[in-house]
Amino acid sequence: MKLVLLGAPGAGKGTQAKSLSKELKLAHISTGDLLRVAIKENTPLGQEAKKYVESGELVPDHLVTKMVIERLSREDVSEGFILDGFPRNRQQAVELDDFLSTKSTCNYFAFYLDASEKTLIKRLSGRRICGMCQAVYHLVNFPPKEDMVCDHCQSELYQRPDDKEETIKNRLAVYNRQTAPVVEYYSKQNRLIHLKADAEASLVLDEMLKILATPFTLLKEQKKKV
């Protein structure tokens, strides 16, 4: 089974990807994780990405795509994978399809986790990030064991400036502009499953598993009802 999870910041992509990975025994591929590992292991792509990270710039799309494609070329994804937050734009979606078509693995679906602005603001404003390893926590849903200290590396947690309520609305507007073409791309391909994601994570997960339990040939009809 091959899945792509789309959704605005705070929609629950990471949470659901981890849960689905555990339930379905599939590789969870997160671009954030790929970047951290590549930089830590000092791979050629990691060295290139590190230059952007250290200068405070966004890692270019083409570099992120290379990392994802390299990860998808490994043995452990032969039975399936869950892509978390990738592709972020139409060009990445096209390049992903180009790669998958060479592997005869173009049979996949994209879940679009659609949460209201109110829900997204609530979730994002509670998020805290480790300043060292970039691990993500939430003051309500996933708090660290020790207040404002990372469980993994014991570094201090912080709130990103763009996770403050006054800037979240602008982030969401930018995301929607960038992602709308991706949603349209998958919708036209009849791959998109539009799922409301305002509920508790466990309820959203149950709905996703219910949909995925449907025979593959019936998923196209099922997704229209979600």
**Owner of token pair 């992509």:** 13
Give me the catalytic one of 122, 171, 196, 220: 171
Task: Identify whether 51 is a catalytic site residue.
Answer: no
Q: Kindly name the residue from 88, 90, 122, 220 that is annotated as catalytic.
A: 88
Span 168-182, pLDDT tens digits: 888 888 888 888 899
Q: Residue written as tokens 């994780």?
A: 33
Structural tokens at position 84: 């978390």
Q: Where are the alpha helices (DSSP H) in 59-115?
A: 61-72, 90-102
For residue 65, pLDDT beyond 60: yes
Looking at 2, 13, 123, 191, which residue is catalytic? 13
Is 88 among the residues known to form the active site?
A: yes
Whether 128 is catalytic is: no
**Fold of the domain built from segment(s) 2-116+167-223:** Rossmann fold (3.40.50)
What's the DSSP call for residue 85? S
The reported pTM is 0.80
Asked if 127 is an active-site residue, the reply is yes
Widest Cα–Cα separation across the chain: 48
With contact defined as beta carbons under 8 Å apart, do 157 and 150 qualify? Answer: yes
CB 143 within 8 A of CB 226: no
Q: How much is the pLDDT for 188?
A: 93
Q: Provide φ and ψ at 52, rounded to 5°.
A: -75, -45
The full set of domain ranges for the chain reads: 2-116+167-223
The pLDDT score that the predictor gives to residue 206 is 95
pLDDT at 125: 87
Active site residue: 25, 103, 160, 169, which one? Answer: 160
Contacts of residue 159, Cβ cutoff 8 Å, sequence gap at least 6: 127, 128, 129
Residue % of the chain over a pLDDT of 90: 50
Enter the tokens of residue 171.
Answer: 């982030």
Mean pLDDT score of the chain, rounded to an integer? 87
Q: Which of 127, 128, 191, 223 is catalytic?
A: 127
